[in-house]
Amino acid sequence: MDKVLIQTGAFNAEDTLPATIESVLAQTYTNFHYVIGDNGSTDGTMDIIKKYAKKDSRISYVQTYKNFNGSFMKSLYSFWNSYHIITDSQSFGKTDDWCCFVDSDDTLSPYFVEKLLLYATENNLDMVACGWDFVRSTRVDHRNISESYVIERNKFSDELSEYDKFMGPVWNKLFRYSKIASNRDIRYYEDKFAYLFRDGTFFYGADTCFVYLFLSRLERFGLISDILYNYNIRDESETRRRFSPMRIIADRRLAEVRFDFLQEIGEKISQENYDFIMNIYFKSSKSTMDLLLKDDRYDLKKKMDYLHEMFSYKLMDEVFPLHFK
């Protein structure tokens, strides 16, 4: 019976974490191990984690004493290194084992693991993604497809604009663990992220970068029509309402990683895909610019400096010598 590693990173999440944990424990597929990482919380988060760990033997925890600020890649290998200390590493990481992620303020459908794992095993997949609900205080919006299907590698380029909207987060997916956690794989991701993080910490978008790096090594992946994840949007989120110079870098990296993905799979960049990726970049840059212009922490000269930095970025010339179909 396949085993699934479920992971959550938490920072000062005492108000939301209990619901997250309860949704994991309510899974209809029960052969899982749940690792919760406390990233240096100063509230009662760690007490909640310990309480649940005492009640259910499938729960383990890692305490890092440092706030990773929700960054998936920063905490991932800390989790795994600790996980192999608290479990028998010889019994996990085989080809029939899987991993998935849930944020500390979100919840899973009871069928999340069961349905994703069933589709993955039936179709011999190493990654499968589901739809989700955007849960706001005033409304719920849905993101899903009408019919489940498998995308083969020779269609990765042609169908990019269709599946890209499902590639952003890690939390709506089930990954085959053996494709991530070998020493060779770890070196691959560390090298890639050393390049992507070359200007410092990601402000956002590390999830997307990881997903596309993972996808570039696959022969096929699946999308299912079921909505199995509840993504709770907090209006007070710092990344949504405040400008940071790191947003400029993150916007660039998210464009670069998509171009890099197409090159990794051996495809020339079609005009359609170039336009699609640049449209994403322009939209995200517009949001960054809007936040900058409204931010009273910066005077006019500083704002003009940042605007000049944004408009002087030459993706084509400086990053990728692209060849079009």
pLDDT of residue 315: 65
pLDDT of residue 231: 95
pLDDT of residue 195: 67
pLDDT of residue 180: 77
pLDDT of residue 62: 84
Bridge-partner residues for 133, per DSSP? 142, 230
pLDDT of residue 325: 52
| Alpha-carbon span 4 to 178, nearest angstrom | 12
Q: Give the helix/strand (H/E) hosting 284.
A: helix 271-294
Q: How far apart are the first and last CA of the chain?
A: 45
pLDDT of residue 30: 96
List the one residue out of 44, 48, 65, 45 whose CA is nearest residue 56.
Answer: 48
| Alpha-carbon span 36 to 79, nearest angstrom | 8
Residue recorded with tokens 């895909």: 273
Domain ranges of the chain: 3-239, 242-318
Give me the residues of the chain with pLDDT under 50, please. Answer: 70-73, 85-86, 88-90, 316-319
| Alpha-carbon span 92 to 94, nearest angstrom | 6
CATH code of the region 3-239: 3.90.550.10
Q: Are 110 and 154 in contact (CB under 8 A)?
A: no
| Alpha-carbon span 128 to 116, nearest angstrom | 6
Q: Are 64 and 40 in contact (CB under 8 A)?
A: yes
Q: Are 31 and 2 in contact (CB under 8 A)?
A: yes
